[in-house]
A = this chain, B = another copy of it.
Amino acid sequence: MVDQFLEYVEKHQNDFIERLRKAVAIPSVSSDPNRRQDVFRMSEFLIDELKALDAINVETRDPGQQDFHGTPLPLPPIVLATVGNDPAKKTILVYGHYDVQPALMEDGWDTDPFTLVEDEQHRLLGRGSSDDKGPVLGWINVVEAHKSLGLEMPVNLKFCLEGMEESGSEGLEPIIHEEADKYFKDVDSVCISDNYWLGTTKPCLTYGLRGVSYFHLTVQGPARDLHSGVFGGTVHEPMTDLFALMSKLVTPDGKILVPGIYDQVRPLTDTEEKTYDNLAFEMHELHDAVGSAINIHDSVRHVLQHRWRHPSLSLHGVEGAFYNPGDKTVVPARVVGKFSIRTVPDMELDKVTELVTKYVNDEFKKLNSKNTMKIVCSHAGNHWLASPEHWSYVAAAKAVERVYKVKPDLTREGGSIPITLTFQDALKRNVLLLPMGRGDDGAHSINEKLDRSNYVEGTKLLGTYLYEIAAAKPE
């Protein structure tokens, strides 16, 4: 049956591309209030597609309204749909998003971002092609193949598609928690296709994400901004204190100076070390992504370990100080330094906050300043680590070998994808990140693309993954 499926996908690839063309043509930019109707239009497009494929219970949940800088704006619906409900089969929840990043010709696109174009290298160019319309339609292609072939689906599928992912997934989390015992009740595992291969040649399964703890360091002194001519040299200036403190957080080669911060980091075992042996990534890919050779580490192994499994600390900016071009001689009265720590297993978020708070307070005391200082953790999202031994990962790895004739890279990512944790925590189920696109797709950049082969083989992969799940021996 899987062969019939694979053959169908191969034969109908141009139809699938037509489907993607229609989707890309809807400029569903969630961050632009003038495009909000297009986001709604995109949800209707998906609902129509799902209904045409005899999905059952195609329904929506209304997340209500968004407060857009004081103006209420309706939030696009969460689209829920079920394909098959055989209690004898596993049920896989598929998450994706149908909104996209903004895109304008003026940004430097070579072609109209909302017109799908296939170039000579068979790259399908268009906003949302890879993030995340291609993967979402990949699942729909799988369903279509089965319906057209008169084949039964190997598992039950449940869709959860949102239209606000590029704008912080506003309104989604409460609905997931609310539906955990209802719509999501029978889900056995979750699969998300919304990240990317490590490089450009080899598929991967992603099983870990770093967390992030964000800090606001406020130094306050005068009641108002001061003139540096009149007061310079006579008062403790908040900026001087702030720079003294923030310069003590991390060294130029990336070592975090907060005592104890490395104590909770899980040691690297030989087994884990081996997963870094054959990763499809080269140093020039880092240099290309960054646009210059400012790497701290000289081997792929260490670069990726520092991206995936070691904590890092970045300074982001200062609120309250002078930030425009030009020269202004102000002494800012109250400045807020912003920095964040990327966290990894087994760091505990409360402990991180405690260590940072103690250290910054200790360092501030050493300054003997008469200003006041406050450090708070404004936001903390946990790291995430799944087991690549879980049956969902095993099935996905087998599917990759079958479709791509290669063992997938086992990867993690340095950033956070909050929805991953939300599903894991709300449903208490394993989550698999199974990317369709390549590392150079340019998800949030100009000339976003999805290679034709990634779309077609990716559709095959998603379907094959479901067959491998069904074929696996019960645990």
Q: Which A residues lie at the B interface, using CB under 8 A?
A: 210, 212, 214, 221-224, 226-237, 239-241, 243-244, 246-248, 250-254, 286, 289-297, 303, 306-307, 310-319, 321-325, 327-333, 338, 340, 342, 367-371, 378-379, 413-416
Contact = CB atoms under 8 A, between A and B. Distances in A.
Given A223-B291, A322-B317, A240 B251 contact: yes
A327 B338 contact: yes
B314 A223 contact: no
Contacts of A318: 317-318, 321, 323
A296 B369 CA distance: 9
A367 B252 CA distance: 6
A239 B312 CA distance: 14
B368 A252 contact: yes
Given A236-B295, A237-B254, A319-B324, 16 more contacts: A210-B229, A221-B294, A222-B291, A227-B415, A228-B340, A228-B342, A233-B296, A233-B307, A233-B414, A234-B254, A236-B296, A243-B246, A244-B252, A252-B369, A253-B368, A253-B369
Contact of A233 (B228, B311, B367): B311
A314 B312 CA distance: 30
A440 B311 CA distance: 52
B342 A229 contact: yes
Contacts of A223: 290-292
A32 B297 CA distance: 53
A329 B324 contact: no
Nearest to A224: B291
Contacts of A415: 227-230
24 contacts: A222-B292, A229-B414, A229-B415, A231-B307, A233-B296, A233-B414, A234-B297, A234-B306, A234-B312, A234-B414, A235-B294, A236-B253, A236-B294, A240-B251, A291-B333, A292-B370, A294-B371, A315-B321, A316-B332, A317-B323, A318-B321, A319-B322, A319-B325, A327-B338
B252 A241 contact: yes
A247 B252 CA distance: 13
Contacts of A324: 319
B414 A316 contact: no
Contacts of A286: 234-235
Nearest to A233: B312
A228 B312 contact: yes
B295 A235 contact: yes
Which of A316, A324, A370, A378 has the most C-beta atoms of chain B within 10 angstroms of its own C-beta? Answer: A316
B290 A226 contact: yes
B307 A329 contact: no
Contacts of A313: 232
Contacts of A221: 290, 292, 294
A180 B294 CA distance: 55
Nearest to A304: B234
Nearest to A336: B325
A237 B314 contact: yes
Which of A286, A332, A415 has the most C-beta atoms of chain B within 10 angstroms of its own C-beta? Answer: A415
Contacts of A322: 316-317, 319, 338
Nearest to A339: B239
A415 B360 CA distance: 33
Which of A224, A235, A292, A378 has the most C-beta atoms of chain B within 10 angstroms of its own C-beta? Answer: A235
A247 B244 contact: yes
Contacts of A229: 210, 212, 342, 413-416
